[in-house]
Amino acid sequence: MTAPNRIDYLRVSLIDRCNFQCVYCMPEGADLQYALREHWLTHDEILQLLSEVFIPLGFTRFRLTGGEPLLRPGIVELVEAIAHLPQTQDLAITTNGFLLEKLAQPLYDAGLRRINISLDSLNAETFQKIIGGKGKSRWQDVWQGIQAAHRVGFSPLKLNVVVIPGINDNEVLDLAALTLNQEWHVRFIEFMPIGNDDLFEHKGWIDSAAIRAQVTERWGLTEGQVAGNGPADVFQIPGAKGTLGFISQMSECFCDRCNRMRLSADGLLRPCLLNESSQIDLRSSLRAGVSLSKIREQVGILVGEKPEINFKMRESGITGAYSRTMSQIGG
């Protein structure tokens, strides 16, 4: 029997708002009820939970998410504080890149070294269709943010692509080609139903094996390696400087490899992306004066239960309906 993974990776959502409205994350018509700002965990509360609850339980790897985390006021100062916790072994951020051109250098100077940027299309029109909104395309702003992150020296620099049939699946080879001459790491993510059931039912999804087959037919593929804490299967086009990752949560369940917990912007801790039944409210406990030792005990129990609370349970109907979109959960 394989030993369970050590649970040592916490994804911390800083904000449930975003300046994009991507069809797979915040679909048009979704009932988005944002948390009031006073319900967000404060910076002090986040740091208190990390240093007094999660780190003593063995968590040493942290990723800041959203919504769009770069919208969070004081993001640079928070990054610096987390990066300088003595036990922090790894700190990363996931962003849509729109604000990154100005923030890349300050974030790097604050101690951030790893970054994931969403880039679902190289075509400005398609990109705008995916992210929603009207007016001037934002593709160029995101591309400039990627270039800024590259110049500053973020490594690895990962580009996330959610592949949606009939929308951007015709760009797989163009996106894969970004790894040929740059030490960039393109990750193809299977489209999954979280708060976007209508689109998912209409479009369906493409499994990673089919995407890999396209790349293999064009260039060939070998196994590759890249630093990170996620579930991607990593490959490399022969001779390429970067790598290709495939995140196959629909076709190749990786629950047995999952080492992460998720903390929402309003303080809900959940052990699984698609499981709301087992989450606990850390913000309410903190503000009610519950001792940090008691909160740590509660979190420790949930961590211990995590191997039995996972994506696969959803197939059995055990988790029930989920009420939050990806942006509200924290990705």
Asked whether residue 18 is marked as a ligand-binding residue, the answer is yes
Produce one character per residue of 259-284: b if its CB has 16 or more CB atoms within 10 Å, e if not. bbbbbbbbbbbbbbbbbbebbbebbe
Contacts for 231 with CB less than 8 Å, ≥ 6 apart: 247, 248, 249, 254, 257, 258
SS3 244: strand
272 labelled binding-site residue: yes
67 a known binding residue?
A: yes
What is the C-alpha to C-alpha distance for residues 269 and 276, in angstroms, rounded to an integer?
Answer: 9
The answer on whether 262 is annotated among ligand-binding residues is yes
Per-state percent for the chain, helix, strand, coil, to nearest 5: 40, 15, 45
Beta bridge partners of 268: 281
**Is residue 94 a known part of a binding site?**
yes
DSSP state string for 158-182: EEEEEE-TTTTGGGHHHHHTHHHHS
The annotation status of 158 as a binding-site residue, yes or no, is yes
Q: What is the CA radius of gyration of the chain?
A: 19
Q: CA–CA separation, 100 vs 22, rounded Å? A: 18
11 is in an annotated binding site: yes
Is 261 one of the annotated binding-site residues? Answer: yes
Whether residue 37 is annotated as binding a ligand: the answer is no
- Residue 287, marked binder: no
Judge whether 63 is annotated as a binding position.
yes
Strand pairing category for 280-281 and 222-223:
unpaired
Which H or E element spans position 147? Answer: helix 139-152
Residue 245 known to bind ligand: no
Determine the Cα–Cα distance for residues 245 and 236; give it in Å rounded to an integer.
Answer: 8
- 322 assigned binding-site residue: no
Residues 72, 82 contacting (CB under 8 angstroms): no
Annotated binding site: 11, 18, 22, 24-25, 63, 67, 94, 118, 158, 192, 255, 258, 260-262, 272
Annotated binding site for GTP: 11, 63, 94, 158, 260-262
Annotated binding site for S-adenosyl-L-methionine: 24, 67, 118, 192
Annotated binding site for [4Fe-4S] cluster: 18, 22, 25, 255, 258, 272
